[in-house]
Structure 1
């Protein structure tokens, strides 16, 4: 199954903040720019006008704009960015250094209070990929507007790699509006 994934546009005033599931706004022009980019891609490749988005407005609003142009959009909570718990929405400089050190040293398993670990994110991503593949056994192409951490996790899963154990092994974030194609083959039971 082929997943066509775009990262959402850059949020307004998010620089320097820990942003996971904090619902930050995006400039409407940037949302429309991504929606136009996706529409052109769909026309060029003659794909169905169906897209999956997360419930966070930086993804959701792209789906809503596309719906005005004949798309169906589906909201999947599983597509949301990693949940940073108490860190979410806080300036990075206000998060205690010891907590960040603990996270970097136990990257896969550490979860900020009230949040999820990278391991939990990977499980959520892989479960969603498998479920969508199961529902679409005809091997359709799936369009998605996602988040950097989610896209990195999906890319690592598709590559057959394990959850990184240390922060230094985490790939650079996908650029805003960047497109990535992932060819996902579910594991046989």
Structure 2
């Protein structure tokens, strides 16, 4: 498939001030999941796309897929779309992380494993290798940024800003 549209999931409950990755499965307001599902359904209609969607298994993305399935979409779940695994940091308040640990990450931005988690290089490889089975997906900011990364030098300063909650990003 040449290109596809991926939406960032709706804002999860309980994420404020916390490092949220692939190990922390936070809920979303059902109304926000339904609202995003409506936008995806309208996009599919407008562009004549098949009624198929793939999501991350995490509730903040999968809840959107559940709505679409109720409306006749074929819904698939793929763990390869999950957010980056922040290891021992996942779910913790950012303020609780010692400055020395954060500095360690910044010094090895692509290779730091978050004490048992995934490196950015591993996320970049996972996102680049993923083959979309359909034209519509719901995922996470880190994965989306990794997928659209152009391969230029990657540093903390050049990492792109995350897409807004519910934002559509067209990627190849």
TM-score category by the smaller chain?
over 0.9
Gaps of 5+ in 2: none
Cα distance, 1:111 vs structure 2: 1.0
Give the RMSD, CA atoms, in angstroms. 1.2
Determine if contact 2:49/2:135 at 8 Å carries over to the other structure: no
Structure 1 residue aligned with 2:166? 177
Alpha-carbon distance in 1 for matches of 2:153, 2:65: 30
C-alpha distance after superposition, 1:111-165 (max 9, x if no partner): 1111000000011111213xx4xxx6xxxx6211010000000110xx3x1461x
Does residue 143 in structure 1 map to residue 136 in structure 2?
yes
Structure 1 residue aligned with 2:93? 91
Alpha-carbon distance in 2 for matches of 1:70, 1:118: 36
Determine if contact 1:25/1:57 at 8 Å carries over to the other structure: yes
- The alignment's TM-score, normalised by the length of structure 2, stands at 0.95
Aligned residues: 170
Gaps of 5+ in 1: 185-189
Structure 2 residue aligned with 1:12? 13
Alpha-carbon distance in 2 for matches of 1:13, 1:113: 23
Structure 1 residue aligned with 2:110? 108
Alpha-carbon distance in 2 for matches of 1:45, 1:73: 18
> What secondary structure is seen at the aligned counterpart in 2 of 1:98?
helix
Whichever structure has more helix as a proportion of its residues is 1
Structure 2 residue aligned with 1:119? 121
**Misfit runs of 4+, over 4 Å:** none
Does residue 27 in structure 1 map to residue 29 in structure 2?
yes
Alpha-carbon distance in 1 for matches of 2:156, 2:100: 15
